[in-house]
Structure 1
Amino acid sequence: MTTPSVRPASFDRLLLDHMDALRRRVWRLTRHGAEEVVADTVELALRRWANFDPEKGTFYRWLVWQARDAARNYRKVTEKVWEMEQQEELPSGRVEPAQPDHAQLSAVLAHLSGVKDGDVLLRRAMGDTHQEIANDRGVSRSRIQQLEKEARGKLVRRAA
């Protein structure tokens, strides 16, 4: 049996009809990059359309196998990218900020030192979580969120 060289319109219709189910299934397979995996799955399905045999199973089951391949490929690529990023060395040395940037940063820091709980904003800017700051101060996470909001408001009012 020879396979036709032109993809039948019925295959395209089946693929379109199963897109919602495909998105849901891919979301369960991989939450990060789900849309990319869906796009890769569609690409694989369109390239491998001649491999689909309705006598061997449903179209959905065949499509899920394509999605698993696409998800596996996506994971391999993202792992390689992550490994490459980890191997890259950061340039040594220090880059001095431009003078206007330095002046602006100095002004903001001066305002923060005058703002009650300005250190909360500084720590948040440095990447500390609300919970870390709360643990250090002995208060709740929600209290730190309130202090952050108040300090931001004071800083905005002073800047205006």
Structure 2
Amino acid sequence: MSNPYVTADHNVEGRPASFDARLMQYRPGLLKLAGKFTKTSEERHDLVTDTIIYCLRNWQSFREDGGFWNWLYWSMRGVVGNKREGVKARITLVQDTDGVFAATRGIAPSQLDYVELSQTLRKMNTRAGGVVMRRAMGDTLPEIGAAIGVTAERVRQIENKERKRLMRGRAA
């Protein structure tokens, strides 16, 4: 069964597949560049991963006239700057298994966080998973609804259903 939200040319977020492929071609160069900002191999790989995630989230800010490598370079510099400023000052709302929200101070994600995220992403179904991911990245209900052809209320329902399904799977 094919996914109506992913085409050969674009993924769920509307990002061209060619963009993702192009980004991954630059990974070796990003690893080399990360060596200028980090001390250990683990930090270098973490920085590259964080930069790739940043670029995938902010792909729309890329302008061809500025050059892809230049954009990647400045994106990595921005990630480094954000890390230096400290993520720990950010306050995040976290929902526990009972549905209660609590404010926590954010900390930088670890490799185990990335593994858990990858496992969770594999469990998401395509449409609902895309909705949850877009909401997590700050898209509004009307924006997502317009992109997938449903109302904002329906987007909220899809998001809630998928979150509950993921929570049940996590408790099991």
TM-score calculated relative to the size of structure 2:
0.40
Structure with greater strand percent: 2
TM-score calculated relative to the size of structure 1:
0.43
Structure with greater helix percent: 1
